[in-house]
């Protein structure tokens, strides 16, 4: 072999997977059972955990997040940013002109996802559990994706 070893996404995935298994084995940290990897739900539990511990409130969080904060959202954000920067793909975009408007829109989307169970991962898991509300919500999610895609394609044309 010649040249320098350059890790790719598979290598990083294997390291992250082994790290997750090690954390679970040594510290007993577990992923919430009905969440999967949900940025809205884990973000809610992260904010709730810090608020409960810093301010002394009693916000509802998942039982799995009561011992330690769920840092999934932080890890995904930092990991995606690092990967994009490493590959020269990091570009900041403004959705509505100002960064504050973009931040507020992103926060509103996450809040609405929590209110209407709009997190796709959680919704599909609830459908797999046989939740009747998810049976009605999955077609609505699919219609929303199709409608949003059509609007974006029309704007691009």
| pLDDT, tens only, 7-28 | 887 888 888 888 878 877 887 7
| pTM as predicted | 0.60
- Same domain, yes or no: 42 and 94: yes
Domain that holds residue 70: 9-115
- Same domain, yes or no: 28 and 102: yes
- Same domain, yes or no: 29 and 68: yes
- Same domain, yes or no: 78 and 124: no
- Same domain, yes or no: 66 and 124: no
Q: Taking 60 as the threshold, does the pLDDT of residue 126 lie above it?
A: yes
CA distances from 125 to 64, 73, 135 (A): 17, 19, 11
- Same domain, yes or no: 95 and 121: no
For residue 41, the tally of other CB atoms under 10 A from its CB is 25
Closest to 48 in 3D by CA, of 59, 32, 64, 40: 59
- Same domain, yes or no: 38 and 67: yes
- Same domain, yes or no: 78 and 17: yes
For residue 37, the tally of other CB atoms under 10 A from its CB is 12
Give the chain's domain count. Answer: 2
Closest to 124 in 3D by CA, of 138, 112, 110: 138
What is the rounded CA–CA span in Å between residue 55 and residue 49? Answer: 10
Tens of pLDDT, residue by residue over 41-52, are: 788 888 888 999
Q: Give a yes or no: residue 2 inside a domain.
A: no
pLDDT band at residue 60 under the 50/70/90 scheme: confident
**In sequence order, which residues have a C-beta less than 8 Å from that of residue 42 and are 6 or more positions away?**
32, 35, 70, 72, 73
Decide which of 148 and 31 is more confident: 148
- Same domain, yes or no: 108 and 121: no
- Same domain, yes or no: 37 and 73: yes
Q: Mean per-residue pLDDT for 75-93?
A: 85
């Amino acid at each position: 072999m010649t040249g320098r070893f350059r890790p790719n996404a598979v290598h990083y995935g294997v390291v992250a997977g082994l790290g997750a298994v090690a954390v679970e084995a040594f510290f007993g940290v577990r992923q919430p059972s009905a969440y999967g990897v949900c940025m809205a739900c884990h973000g809610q539990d992260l904010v709730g955990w810090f608020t409960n511990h810093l301010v002394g409130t009693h916000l509802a969080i998942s039982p799995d997040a009561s011992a330690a904060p769920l840092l999934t959202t932080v890890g995904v954000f930092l990991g995606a940013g690092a990967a994009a920067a490493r590959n020269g793909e990091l570009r900041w975009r403004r959705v509505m002109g100002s960064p504050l408007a973009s931040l507020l829109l992103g926060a509103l989307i996450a809040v609405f996802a929590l209110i209407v169970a709009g997190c796709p991962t959680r919704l599909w898991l609830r459908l797999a559990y046989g939740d009747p509300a998810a049976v009605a919500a999955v077609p609505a999610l699919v219609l929303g994706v199709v409608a949003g895609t059509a609007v974006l394609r029309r704007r691009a044309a």
